Amino acid sequence: MRLLRDPLLWLMAAFIALLIALPHSEALFAWLFPQQPRPVYQQESFVNLALAHLELVAISSFAAVVIGMALGIMVTRPWGREFRTLAETVVAAGQTFPPVAVLAVAVPVMGFGRDPALIALTIYGLLPVVQGTLAGLASVPEGAKEVATGMGMSRMQQLVKVELPLAAPVILAGVRTSVIINIGTATIASTVGASTLGTPIIIGLSGFNTAYVMQGALLVALLAIIVDRGFERLVRLTTRHAG
């Protein structure tokens, strides 16, 4: 019974139901948008678009987390502190540089498809991860580090067994922001031929079909809410364990 009252499960069920129901909702969208001769996007399956969108976000977010955490850890070590300002400047510039511009530069080199989108999303997702890693490691009490040193732990052991577990809630908050940003930004990957939930949005905008735009935007928004709620639960769990 407790599971049945779980809002996250209801949101996931609503998302799956929407993926299945949208292709059969022509009557509803024809009523909402009577001026559209084709009110429901039918060129590709919404399920396939959602899976492709999730795959693109998962790969790019994983790359951003690995690179961002490694960079954040590196510049907090004694041998890497002199590079901290440079690292923060570079990742901040990466997010201020529009993903569309990255795609415009990458497409002539890599061609159309998923690859240039992965590069753009990875670069765009770095800043929150790096900031979260820096803030999380800075929040680790000096007393905890001193105790670890007194126990004879090496610097690597201190990092793995003390610093990262205590910093996990703050780091996860940065990862959460990065992933949510990428879910929304991944829609532009459809402009370079990648299949995402942004495909009906892009086609709808180019063809002045508001129904297509609404269908794609509704799915992207619901997906972002589901992932955000999932991360919220994960952050609470790690905070409880860190405490």
Cα dihedral 76, 236, 185, 53 in deg (nearest 10)? 120
Average pLDDT of span 224-232: 92
E strands, 63-217, in order: none
For residues 101 and 115, what is the distance between their CA atoms, to the nearest angstrom? 15
The answer to whether residue 108 scores a pLDDT higher than 90 is: no
Task: Give the relative orientation of helices 7-21 and 46-74 as an angle to the nearest 10 degrees.
Answer: 130
The answer to whether residue 50 scores a pLDDT higher than 90 is: yes
H or E stretch at 124:
helix 114-124
- In the DSSP assignment, the letter for residue 55 is H
Average pLDDT of span 85-99: 80
CATH number of this structure's domain 55-242, picked from the four choices 3.30.499.10, 1.10.10.1200, 1.10.3720.10, 3.20.20.70? 1.10.3720.10
For residues 42 and 124, what is the distance between their CA atoms, to the nearest angstrom? 31
The one-letter amino acid at 20: I
**For the purposes of burial, counting CB atoms within 10 Å of the CB of 205, is it exposed (0-12), middle (13-18) or buried (19 or more)?**
middle
The answer to whether residue 2 scores a pLDDT higher than 90 is: no
pLDDT for position 242: 56
pLDDT for position 130: 93
Residues in the chain: 243
For residues 132 and 177, what is the distance between their CA atoms, to the nearest angstrom? 9
With bands split at pLDDT 50, 70 and 90, how would you rate the model's confidence at 91? confident
